[in-house]
Amino acid sequence: MTAHVLSDTGTLTGRSLRHILRSPDTIITTAITPIALLLLFVYVLGGAINTGTGESYINYMLPGILLITIASGIAYTAYRLFLDMQGGIFERFQSMPISRPSVLWAHVLTSLIANLASLVIVIGVALIMGFRTGASVVDWLAAAGILVLFTLALSWVAVMPGLTAKTIDGASGFSYPLIFLPFISSAFVPTDSMPGPVAWFAENQPVTSIVNTLRGLFAQQPVGNDIWIALAWCVGLLVVAYVAATAIYRKKIS
Amino acid sequence: MTTQTREPAISVRAVTKSYQDLHVLRGVDFDVAAGSIFALLGSNGAGKTTLVRILSTLLKADSGSASVHGFDVSSVPADVRRSISLTGQFAAVDGVLTGRENLVLIAKLRHQRNPGAIADDLLARFSLTEAGNRRAATYSGGMRRRLDIAMSLVGKPPVVFLDEPTTGLDPQARIEVWQTVKQLAKDGTTILLTTQYLDEAEQLADRIAILHKGTIIQHGTLAELRQLLPSAKVEYVEKQPTLEDVFLALVGGSSDTTDEAAIPAGEESR
């Protein structure tokens, strides 16, 4: 049975991707909020924000916007899994001789692909609005790697409400705090402008290290320790979310 | 799928299942002979679906044992899953995919060679060829249920569970499902179906078990069950056509429903 993990995951991922291709609005709506924030911060608020760097403001805040894109995209991951649970197709799969982890992996991989598509749209809009980077291929790969890890981690987080929620709102509502998290970080304003306890939280939460790493990579500046802290956060969150989600899944199907 | 057993295809012994204080199954016993149709008759809440979920490895029994196609459901669930298919109470088709894509998906997941040919064959058998390239969400309730049953037959599982296969269907669609079930049994498939309709059990089943408040209170063939009551009295009653007779006569039988209008299924079945 385990011999089929890859082919079953491939088949089921193909199914979910087809869902997205038939309603591409989920990719676009995922990108709309971040793009609106991009416009708001660059053209309305940005002029009054002093980042203390020589960077243009869009270069400064794009990394935070990318994380917001992922945080809003994974709401659909939970939503799609929830619909499968409700519709009876989940039980049909469970009563079939297919590899059991494949059902979840298909949703996670679909989430990854859909979120990457949304990120490409947001970066495209940012380029039109004046985002510029001299990042090398290696810098881009490093940035993409961190974004992929972050998406995988949050996708496994999204699996939990997807499996357990009782209503659609419950399945997708968990993402709001995640969307909000970048606002209390270095994503939009430097953390040293915040009052003590807030600044402490901002400096020690995962978004700041990830944002600082991405910003450094795009600006071709040394990323120092930030990249290791960012990686530790992403991998740590990924492992914890994966273990917790699969535990919930096993409990659900046994 | 090569093990030809003459022992019962389904065997259930003293199965119990409770949710906290709610005793859904209180010791259920029965056997289903290979190649027969067995109807589990009971009102809503009698425990029919719980029993089907246990037999199809979706749920674990609290005590007792059950085997399907010679495999114990709790110790070798993977072997059970290879031998069965389940058609749930609420048609589990993927509404975003077309009918054909649904069948191809299941064929791939059952690791069949040539999924496309299997899908085309089943579409033809279930009069869905024309609708095959439309999204399943646009199907009528009857078409959806036919697709659902067709999906259950991919890979020719020897045991098929049909959980209330005709609930929510109109009379014509019901008759079509009945014909399909009869044909399946003729081809040697063992079928366990649950139903709350007495006439459905009467029409289809070789043996009938009545599940009431978590136990089988009676089982046997239709003739055996009839003998439980005092012998038939002869009464003279004017034979009125039933409303079903009238309805079917007016709309023209059951054979020309292959091109049902595309009514979203949700509107009819709720």
The 3-state secondary structure of B109-133 reads HCCCCCHHHHHHHHHHHCCCCHHHH
B57 and A95 in contact by Cβ < 8 A?
yes
Nearest CA of chain A to the CA of B122: how many Å? 18
A48 to chain B, any CB pair closer than 8 A? The answer is no
Residues of A with CB below 8 A from B157's CB?
Answer: none
Q: In the block, which residue shows the tokens 């859909």?
A: A114
**Residue B266 pLDDT > 50, yes or no?**
no
**Residue A161 pLDDT > 90, yes or no?**
yes
Count, residues in chain A: 254
B90 and A88 in contact by Cβ < 8 A?
yes
Helices (H), A50-131: 57-87, 89-94, 100-128
Residue with the bigger pLDDT between A25 and B132: it is B132
According to the model, what pLDDT value does residue A235 have? 95
Residue partners of B95: CB distance under 8 A and separation at least 6: A87, B135, B136, B137
A95 and B86 in contact by Cβ < 8 A?
yes
Burial class of residue B223 (count of CB atoms within 10 Å of its CB; 0-12, 13-18, 19+): exposed
**Res. B259 pLDDT band, cuts 50 70 90:** very low
**Per residue in B238-255, is it b (16+ CB within 10 Å) or e — as a string?**
eeeeeeeeeebeeeeeee
Nearest CA to B165 out of B234, B182, B157, B156 is that of B182
Give the amino acid at B61.
A
How does the average pLDDT of chain B come out, rounded? 84
pLDDT in tens, B149-196: 999 999 999 999 998 888 878 888 888 889 889 988 998 999 999 988
pLDDT in tens, B183-195: 889 989 999 999 8
Sheet of B37-41, strands arranged across: B84-87, B159-163, B190-195, B37-41, B207-212, B215-220
- B11 and B71 Cβ atoms separated by less than 8 Å: no
Q: In the block, which residue shows the tokens 């309709």?
A: B197
Burial class of residue B206 (count of CB atoms within 10 Å of its CB; 0-12, 13-18, 19+): middle
- B260 and B140 Cβ atoms separated by less than 8 Å: yes
Chain A, nearest residue to B59 by Cα: A254
A92 and B97 in contact by Cβ < 8 A?
no
**Which residue among B85, B92, B105 places its CB closest to the CB of A88?**
B92
B182 to chain A, any CB pair closer than 8 A? The answer is no
A91 and B101 in contact by Cβ < 8 A?
no
Measured from the Cβ of residue A1, the count of other Cβ atoms closer than 10 Å reads: 13
* Radius of gyration of chain A measured on its C-alpha atoms: 19
**Res. A2 pLDDT band, cuts 50 70 90:** low
Longest dimension (CA), chain A: 60
Average pLDDT over residues A125-131: 90
User: What CA–CA distance (Å, rounded) separates A37 from B47?
Assistant: 53
User: What CA–CA distance (Å, rounded) separates A64 from A209?
Assistant: 11
According to the model, what pLDDT value does residue A120 have? 94
Strand partners, B11: B31, B67
Binding-face residues of B in 82-121 toward A, CB within 8 A: 82, 84-86, 88-97, 101, 105-106, 108-111
- B170 and B141 Cβ atoms separated by less than 8 Å: yes
A98 to chain B, any CB pair closer than 8 A? The answer is yes
A12, A25, A95, A110: best mutation site toward chain B, by most B Cβ within 10 Å? A95
Which of A77-81, A169-173, B205-209 is least confident? A169-173
Average pLDDT over residues B119-144: 91
Q: What are phi and psi of B207, to 5 degrees?
A: -130, 150
Q: For residue B216, how far is the Cα from the chain centroid? A: 19
What chain B holds in terms of domains, given with CATH numbers, is 10-269 (3.40.50.300)
Burial class of residue A162 (count of CB atoms within 10 Å of its CB; 0-12, 13-18, 19+): buried
Strand partners, B219: B209
Give the amino acid at A154.
L
Three-point CA angle B207, B212, B216, nearest 5°: 45
B85 and A95 in contact by Cβ < 8 A?
yes
Residue partners of B24: CB distance under 8 A and separation at least 6: B17, B18, B47, B50, B214
pLDDT in tens, A183-241: 888 888 888 888 888 888 988 889 999 999 999 898 888 888 889 999 999 999 999 99
**Res. B6 pLDDT band, cuts 50 70 90:** low
B23 to chain A, any CB pair closer than 8 A? The answer is no
**Residue B235 pLDDT > 90, yes or no?**
no
**Res. B232 pLDDT band, cuts 50 70 90:** low
Residues of B with CB below 8 A from A12's CB?
Answer: 109
A94 and B58 in contact by Cβ < 8 A?
yes
**Which residue among A7, A22, A254 places its CB closest to the CB of B60?**
A254
For chain A, domain boundaries: 2-253
ipTM of the complex as predicted: 0.86
According to the model, what pLDDT value does residue A136 have? 87
Residues of B with CB below 8 A from A91's CB?
Answer: 58, 86, 88, 92
Q: How many helices (H) and strands (E) does chain A have?
A: 11, 0
| Full-model pTM | 0.85
**Res. B270 pLDDT band, cuts 50 70 90:** very low
**Res. A28 pLDDT band, cuts 50 70 90:** confident
How does the average pLDDT of chain A come out, rounded? 89
A4 and B94 in contact by Cβ < 8 A?
no
Average pLDDT over residues A138-151: 94
Name the range with the highest mean pLDDT among A142-151, B34-43, B250-259. A142-151
**Res. A130 pLDDT band, cuts 50 70 90:** confident
Q: What are phi and psi of B25, to 5 degrees?
A: -120, 125
Helices (H), B22-88: 48-55, 77-83
**Which residue among A18, A91, A96 places its CB closest to the CB of B88?**
A91
Q: Helix A226-253 vs helix A206-218: angle between axes, to the nearest 10 degrees?
A: 130
Nearest CA of chain A to the CA of B233: how many Å? 47
A1 to chain B, any CB pair closer than 8 A? The answer is yes
Residue with the bigger pLDDT between B88 and A154: it is A154
Residues of A with CB below 8 A from B78's CB?
Answer: 1, 97
